[in-house]
Amino acid sequence: MGVLVDLTKCNGCRQCEAACQQAAGFEVPTKKELLDESVFAQQRYPGPRSYTTVNRFPAGEGAAGEGAVYVKTNCLHCNDPACASACLVGAMRKQANGAVTYDAGKCMGCRYCMVACPFEIPRYEYDDVWAPQVRKCSFCWDKVASGEEPVPACVQACPKQCLIYGKRSELLARAHARIEEHPDEYVNHVYGEHEAGGTSWLYLSAVPFDRLGFLNVGTAAPPDLAETIQHGVFNHFIPPVAWCAVLGLAMWLTRPDRAPEAKHRADDDETPPPRAAVSRREPVALREGQHV
Amino acid sequence: MTASEPIPLLWQPLTGPKARFLWLLAGIGVLAGVYRFFFGLDASTNLSQQYPWGIWIIGDVSLIALAAGGFTTAAIVHVFHRERYHAVARPALITALLGYTFACVLLAADLGKYYNIWHPILPSMWQGNSALFEVGMCVMCYLTVLYIEFLPVFCERFIRDARWPRWGRVCGAVHRIATRAMPLVFVLGVGISCLHQSSLGHVMVLAPTKLHPLWYTPILSLLFLVSAIMVGFPTVIFVYLCGCWALRLRPPMAMLGSLAKYVPFLVSIYLAFKIGDMSIRRSHVYLGEASLQSTTFLLEVVGGLVLPGVMTLFGRVRSSPRLLGVACALLMLGVILNRTNVYLIGYRPMTQSARYTPSLTEWALTIGAVAALCLLWRAIVELFPVISGLRKATSGRLSGGH
């Protein structure tokens, strides 16, 4: 599943932000705060206490609509998420419905997911002394997957039908249909179709995405290359085991001659030590440097 | 099996002026650790949402890289049986042991939920796609290997000590078993080391958009492995020289100089990989951008690689404790700078607002860990049969750390 965001329809009401805060159990902005436009003065990124933010960008020349474009930022729920590939204990997981979820019980707080995420979305609760967690949008996974809610809270809250929840393939078809129908209203680019290997969240815009704070992350999914190399090196553990075998062979081939070993045996009352571990004593070179 | 090995002196307190300075640094480090523990990461570090990894992680990665001397020495002495270098095997083992141990200390400070550090052991949490999982498993295994390799050293201290005959017999039995297992342990140690030294580089392959193209390469793992192998002997030589200086021994320059003959050879292999990779990826264009990154890259390659590599070509350098020490230190600094470049300076998040500079607490804990490492190294060398001939040479007072 996924969400199609049509940026041309968003008027910056930030109802999605409020709904998200409510659903996540964070501080909910009041009606007065939602109407306060001063929040748009500078770009706000999602934080450990806010999974989504709406920012305002100047539409610039040659764009449809008013003088501003509002952009909702949140976890894009990659098809092949780098955070999940990074997490060494599997706390980050891509669920069947597309959500990328986080399991605080598994997490040890290494923050590799934050390093790996090309969209720079996961946030850390540095201020929590005893049990800090990674924080990011969960796509309301627990509620949507259990059927408690039909769609994520932000989608439900949007009064402008700017967010559409549905099957990713259908949303993509719909996005391209809209571009085809109104080629003058949209740039011919669905952000998220190929970005970082494709994401569950898809964006339509009238203004080129690089002017709206969207990161240029390339089309390759970061785990593709990284996992291919790693699984090549660890191919069924054959290369590591073969490497150890080569080392063992070298150890056996270069073993010291029997003569000095026999001497060791003579001054040793214990069983003869294995060849490799022989001669821990009297390093030749130290003789010259023994004295102060 | 080492009847000829002299039983070293008992503990003599490290109370010289240099040692006292190290005690002070280590003490401040402990305070910093306590502060981190009770007040959390936000109060003690300058880490941010854009820069989740700081100098504690660099300390981990650098300590592990420098501790590579443990496995390269084990390889040359125990696998390839170059008996000539036997004298450095145990000091190198202690260095690696402490390097990895303190890397774990720094890591525990850095982890938000350090009490979950053991989670990768649980099969239910295995995540084989993660380079860090590979590192975690290997570091745990290698730490075990290092302590097993230390067992014979530990036991030899007590085997023939008349004061505790029963304990001595236990140690003798353990020693016999450990010695028998040693060939397997050495092979495993070298094998595991190669795996995680490379995986530490592979960690950053997952961040192609953030790591500067001067360092981002699919063969980052190979470069990390080769540089770790390269810096192994220089670290061992440097530590040995420092040990001799602290213990007032005359360094065995013939042996150390001969070991240093490998260095220019290893440096040129690493350089060949690095320059070859650069020319294939055509990343040399970034050298001209006169940025922080291009400067530190040049510093890393010229000051920390070419210069010491050329230095060690000369017999005069290899036979002089001071010059050889400088060359080895440069190589060590070069590798530390390389790790810093890959994990911090070359790491450029696109949404950054401010760059990361380490906090006082972060510095204090890092420096304190290194100081404690030096003190412990010095104490272990004195307590256990690590450097042969130590007892005779130091029958007088001992002063100073190293």
pLDDT over 80 (residue A212): yes
A227 contacts chain B (CB < 8 A): yes
Q: Average pLDDT in the B98-107 region?
A: 95
Q: Average pLDDT in the A236-248 region?
A: 88
Q: Average pLDDT in the B129-142 region?
A: 93
Report the distance separating Cα A91 and Cα A86, nearest Å: 10
CA distance B144 to chain A (A): 17
The B residues from 192 to 211 touching A (CB cutoff 8 Å) are: 194-195, 198-199, 202-210
Percent residues over pLDDT 90 in chain B: 75
Angle between helices B360-383 and B220-247 (to 10 degrees): 60
Which residues of chain A are within 8 Å of residue B80 when distances are taken between CB atoms? 250-251, 254
Under 8 Å between Cβ of A135 and A122: yes
Q: Which of B129, B183, B254 lies nearest to residue A85, judging by beta carbons?
A: B129
Residue B392, classed as helix, strand or coil, is: helix
A284 contacts chain B (CB < 8 A): yes
CA separation (Å) from A99 to A76, A143, A191, B70, B325? 9, 12, 18, 44, 55
Which residues of chain B are within 8 Å of residue A125 when distances are taken between CB atoms? 112
How many other CB atoms are there within 10 angstroms of residue B165's CB atom? 10
- At B55, list the tokens: 């100098």
pLDDT over 60 (residue A259): no
Q: Which of A45, A247, A284 lies nearest to residue B79, judging by beta carbons?
A: A247
CA angle B79, B81, B85 (to 5 degrees): 110
Q: Write the pLDDT tens digit of every residue in A126-184.
A: 999 999 999 999 999 999 999 999 999 999 999 988 999 999 999 999 999 999 999 99
Under 8 Å between Cβ of A3 and A164: yes
A2-79+139-220 has which fold? Alpha-Beta Plaits (3.30.70)
B350 contacts chain A (CB < 8 A): yes
The B residues from 377 to 396 touching A (CB cutoff 8 Å) are: 387-389, 392-394
Longest dimension (CA), chain B: 69
Task: Tell me the CA end-to-end span of chain B in Å, nearest whole number.
Answer: 30
Provide the whole-model pTM: 0.89
pLDDT of residue A257: 64
Q: Which of B127, B183, B207 lies nearest to residue A87, judging by beta carbons?
A: B127
Q: Write the pLDDT tens digit of every residue in B233-276.
A: 999 999 999 988 888 888 899 999 999 999 999 999 999 999 99
Give me the residues paired with residue A124 across strands: A134
Under 8 Å between Cβ of B67 and B100: yes
Q: What is the ipTM of this complex?
A: 0.90
Where along chain B do its domains lie? Answer: 45-349+382-389
Owner of token pair 């109060």: B43
AA identity, residue A91 = A
Cβ within 8 Å of residue A208, ≥6 positions away: A187, A189
pLDDT over 50 (residue B91): yes
In 3D space, the residue among A211, A142, A276 whose CA is nearest the CA of residue B149 turns out to be A276
Q: Which of A116, A218, A286 lies nearest to residue B389, judging by beta carbons?
A: A286
Q: Write the pLDDT tens digit of every residue in A15-53.
A: 999 999 999 999 999 999 998 888 898 889 999 999 999
Q: Which residue of B has its CA nearest to A46?
A: B49
Report the distance separating Cα A180 and Cα B228, nearest Å: 55
pLDDT of residue A290: 37
Report the distance separating Cα B30 and Cα B158, nearest Å: 31
| C-alpha A63 chain-centroid distance | 32
Q: Which of B212-221, B225-234, B388-397 has the lowest mean pLDDT?
A: B388-397
- At B352, list the tokens: 């950054």
CATH number of B45-349+382-389: 1.20.1630.10
Task: For residue B280, count CB atoms less than 10 angstroms from its CB and return exposed for 0-12, middle for 13-18, buried for 19 or more.
Answer: exposed
A259 contacts chain B (CB < 8 A): no
The A residues from 155 to 214 touching B (CB cutoff 8 Å) are: none
How many other CB atoms are there within 10 angstroms of residue B3's CB atom? 11
- At B213, list the tokens: 């193209």
- At B9, list the tokens: 């002196």
Radius of gyration from C-alpha coordinates of chain B? 21
Q: Which of B42, B130, B195 lies nearest to residue A126, judging by beta carbons?
A: B42
Q: Which residue of A has its CA nearest to B257?
A: A285
Where along chain A do its domains lie? Answer: 2-79+139-220, 228-289
Average pLDDT of chain B is: 90
Q: Which of B75, B127, B350 lies nearest to residue A215, judging by beta carbons?
A: B350
The residue with greater pLDDT, B49 or B158, is B49
A87 contacts chain B (CB < 8 A): yes
How many other CB atoms are there within 10 angstroms of residue A193's CB atom? 16
Q: β-strands A100-102, A92-94: how paired? A: antiparallel
